[in-house]
Structure 1
Amino acid sequence: MNNSQAWLSRVAAVGVLAFGVSGCVSTGVSAVADGMSGVGAFVTGSPQGAPHPIQIFVASTRKGPLNASDEASPDGQAHFSLATVSVPPGHEPGIVERPSFGSANRARDFVATSRRSLDDDGFKEEVASHVSGRIGSNRDILLFVHGFNNGYDEARFRLTQVAYDGRFGGVPVLFTWASKNSLFAYGSDRETAAASRDALEKLMYTLASVPGVGKVHILAHSMGAWLAMEALRQNAIAGHPDLDGHLGEVMLASPDIDLNVFRQQVARLGEQAHISVFAAHNDRALSLSSALANDRQRVGALDPTKPDDKAAIEQLGVKVYDTSRDSTDFIGHANYANAPDIVQSIGAQLGATRKEDQDTVAVIDADGHTAVSQPAAPVLATTTAVTASPLPEAGAAVIH
């Protein structure tokens, strides 16, 4: 095959993926137990059969009305808001219900019901107020960074679904950058993601410095995993490799990261970082990404059953979970979210009791300051308890 034929083959592959990757975010995550309306302080009690409202904080480097544009903000800074998204009463685990045509309906679709803009100080104060009154791991933050070819609504609905299906009891925060939401915009998306590194670095440090906060967990998908690792690397260079003791789990789903680049990122963060990689050797989106990068290995496509890949994993010293057998679509690029067992286990891991702070509660005093104290009894009566369980070893999970 000559070079022209090879290029045409890749373009044809892009055409096939256009119908798959663009829909990755419209499918979802994990199982929901009865009585789900009691999950966390962000889910208010809802009558049976009614939509379930969930509040999420949004930090966006997009510009335009409501920050939903696919153009980057000219100042490169994040702009903040607090949104409420309702989950339909008949929600199925692993699905983000959206209308095929016409307007969304709260009775059967994910719907954004409200949005309130916040300035920089107001954002931190509002997050602190939501952390206040939470006990133990419910003081944690889950920061989600979406990947390539993701629109604004897709990103916030995905985080809502992760928080809901994963039964996360803490505070969900979305970092959204100006992906053009087009399969053919891979190059420009990479540049836009790079331009968002400073804003994400600042956001991570800001969240870690919220009074009373527990851990800041990071869940990043595809190109967003590269962006998240770069922001963590910049924090490490600035002297905050573990976000001053507040960095929690770093979960990279189908990370579109060159293996050699990843080695350098991991080395900069040091041994204190708890990094997990959800990989699938049959991820067709990453196969295309590798082809466009002259066949350089992507971290999200590592295969623990191959000797060379296994050796690479052992050298990295991170946890790698093989999700190849959990593919629910042709592309296999969103296994972490589409396989119910995986997301439910992620939620259980994040909600696991930590001995050092299992009775710690954040409380705002009369002067508006947040402190931590040891309560005589739990104060989150509406929070559903989650029993910790190990992440499923789909295929062959190699843990280091």
Structure 2
Amino acid sequence: MKYERSKFRKLIEALTPQELNESLDDFPAVRNQFTDGQEKYLRNRIILDYFEKHQEEIDKLLEAIKQCNLTAYNKYASELNSSENSEEKLVPSDKTNSKSNQTPNVPEDKNCDILVLAANPIETDRLELEEEANRIRLRLQEGEVGKDYIVKVERAVQVEDLSKYLLQYKPLILHFSGHGSPSGEIILTNSQGQAQPLSPEALAELLAVLQGRIECVLLNACFSLEKADALADKVSCVVGMSKEIGDQSAVTFAAGFYRGLGFGRGYHTAFELGRNEIKLLNLPDSAVPHFITRDTSLLQREMVKPRVTRTVSTQSTEPTLYPLWFGTNRKPKNLQDISQGFSGERDRQLHYGTCQVAVPKSHKIGSTGSPLLQRLLTLTDDRLKLKKDSLKLFEENNFWENIQRTLQENQPDERSALVFIHGFNVSFEDAALRAAQIGVDLQVPGIMAFYSWPSRGKLASYPADEATIEASEKYIAEFLLNLAQKSGIEKIHIIAHSMGNRGLLRAMQRILAQVQGKSEISFGQIFLAAPDVDPDIFEELAQAYQNLAERTTLYISAKDKALATSGIIHDHPRVGFFPPITVVDGIDTVEVSNIDLTLLGHGYFADARDLLQDMHHLLINNTSPEKRFGLRKKQENGQTFWIIGQ
């Protein structure tokens, strides 16, 4: 039977845990990756990833599902047949469509600069491997050199796949992330997800056979220094661990190391920065990482640069055009010339469209552009700019087809969307710039979208904006519901800021009234940033988030001057400001006052690196607060919440 991931996912989600377990009786390679207390969405992801790679086994699984839940099976088969019939109607009868006349697909160049190979076998302690990969990417992006690095991450790496990855990616830096044995072996996995050791000698022999371009091997695993000398004969330098190293120290070391590379420093300097970062955070193990090289010139060499040949020269000063999809109930300034943009006036209909934002090479994480004085002093214009001639409006059906075509070009795990809903005093253009900045900085695995309600974009228009966001609730609900049901997106994440939270809260209530909860909707992470919402109303209606989303995170601050002012205006505190702290069942409250905030302390959700990192981690892993890097648990007046930052 034909395989379609989105339909297959719906089938898996329709099964009860017992039906799922019974269906997988003949698939120990999948069952062995399950752990006690593991959330269902994680098990579903394991299943989807396995059968994505082993599609020849799907018919066997479907037969088992058929025995457990005939209704779900028939629905899946019916949807597949319907899809196949519609595709047949689109196939032209022209003989030139025969396979003999088709141009073969030529795989694109998959070379990378840094290849991260991660493994956490089922019988070993859980490690923060995703956090490590995320930190590597984010730290590289801090420096101009690092922006040009191409990073590839392979998870649950099996020993037998090692040569394939090295041949496929031809990396400059090979990074192992996971466990090590006291005898110096790197612990990878076998086909059952269980531990399988790899000796450094065998790896060294493989590198010698392939004669690749690897310069540095980083073994971020306990005891990996034991036999690292064997590798030092084959590559310029090796980093290994002399004994057991704590998970947090290992992640911190990697972050410091790749920050150094991101700013163009040499391997040895990057190594010292990694060790120093462990010390700066008062963590143990700063003496555990060791640097080995036979090339003493590496101890002084600087400016390590990425070497992958790209289609576009890395020296190009042209900005990158970042695509966005949007919905709005603003009135166009000129419907005959949409490039003029949208006004702050309300429209009585929902508009769907796309646009592009130019992101300069000098873009800094957390910024849409430096102040004028700084640009004059540095002679650098790092502002993001909306390409007004890229603005396009679509008929609704064409809009969904546009998204579907885009998703088909993405990898199976990149068919999600992040939707940004802005707050008070934001124009359409400002919303687009902020959405692009968030999408770029979070490295959104899918498409980036935003909903722009008709804020007047003026500080004095706070009362008008309050009325407008209330009138926009139904349009926000319509956009989100249609996006979930008509676009083919597998998971929709949402960030709402400030007054935008009022619209989202009521919109979720409307959506909940129309669907049967999570079984019919595909909301993933919902981020409520600095909500300008009455806490009594929030507590009354917030159950909708728990009913519709995988996880909801509320970010609050005691230093948010904008919300402090709103509290004075309304003579009542706001959800995003404390005291008092708002804690609601099913929502993770995270207090952010300790991080580096802006002057008003209100736009931290997009400005602060710690927050961006936390959101990125949630988008990738959906990890609970107690397992997220950098969060500390706090209990106060019988309430439990979390603190981010030192």
TM-score by length of 2: 0.46
Match of 1:287 among 556, 564, 568: 564
CA contact (8 A) 1:151 1:179 kept: yes
Show CA shifts across 1:165-212 (max 9, x none). 111121111100111111111111011111111111111111111353
Within the alignment, does 1:393 sit opposite 2:393 as a pair?
no
Larger relative contact order (CA 8 Å, sep ≥ 6): 1
* Corresponding position of 1:167: 443
Cα shift at 1:92:
1.4
Structure 1 segment 1-400 matched on structure 2, within 5 A: 33=141, 34-35=146-147, 46-48=312-314, 49-65=317-333, 66=338, 67-73=341-347, 75=348, 77-97=349-369, 100=372, 108-113=382-387, 114-210=390-486, 212-242=488-518, 244-271=520-547, 273=549, 274-294=551-571, 296-303=572-579, 309=581, 312-313=582-583, 315-352=584-621, 390=628, 392-393=630-631, 398=641
Cα shift at 1:224:
0.3
For 2:641, the aligned partner's letter is V
| Distance of 2:311 and 2:323 partners within structure 1 | 13
CA contact (8 A) 1:142 1:171 kept: yes
For 1:277, the aligned partner's letter is L
- Give the secondary-structure state (helix, strand or coil) at the position aligned to 2:486: coil
Gaps of 5+ in 2: 1-137, 153-309, 635-639
Cα shift at 1:302:
3.2
Show CA shifts across 1:276-334 (max 9, x none). 1110011111011111111x22110135xxxx63xx51x43310111112243221001
Q: In 2 relative to 1, CA 224–37 (structure 1 residues): closer, same or farther, beyond 3 Å?
A: farther
- Give the secondary-structure state (helix, strand or coil) at the position aligned to 1:90: coil
Gaps of 5+ in 1: 1-29, 355-388
| Distance of 2:592 and 2:616 partners within structure 1 | 17
How many residue pairs match? The answer is: 322
CA contact (8 A) 1:147 1:223 kept: yes
- Give the secondary-structure state (helix, strand or coil) at the position aligned to 1:297: coil
| Distance of 2:598 and 2:477 partners within structure 1 | 33
Q: In 2 relative to 1, CA 188–139 (structure 1 residues): closer, same or farther, beyond 3 Å?
A: same
CA contact (8 A) 1:90 1:108 kept: yes
For 2:472, the aligned partner's letter is S
Q: In 2 relative to 1, CA 212–61 (structure 1 residues): closer, same or farther, beyond 3 Å?
A: closer
Q: In 2 relative to 1, CA 166–191 (structure 1 residues): closer, same or farther, beyond 3 Å?
A: same
| Distance of 2:324 and 2:380 partners within structure 1 | 17
CA contact (8 A) 1:37 1:45 kept: no
Identity of aligned residues (%): 23
Higher helix share: 2
Q: In 2 relative to 1, CA 45–293 (structure 1 residues): closer, same or farther, beyond 3 Å?
A: farther
| Distance of 1:46 and 1:72 partners within structure 2 | 42
For 1:95, the aligned partner's letter is S
For 1:70, the aligned partner's letter is G
CA contact (8 A) 1:32 1:164 kept: no
| Distance of 1:261 and 1:129 partners within structure 2 | 40
| Distance of 2:508 and 2:486 partners within structure 1 | 17
Cα shift at 1:85:
0.8
| Distance of 2:543 and 2:493 partners within structure 1 | 19
Cα shift at 1:347:
2.0
CA contact (8 A) 2:427 2:457 kept: yes
Cα shift at 1:243:
7.6
- Give the secondary-structure state (helix, strand or coil) at the position aligned to 1:172: strand
CA contact (8 A) 2:596 2:608 kept: yes
* Corresponding position of 1:6: none
Cα shift at 1:394:
7.6
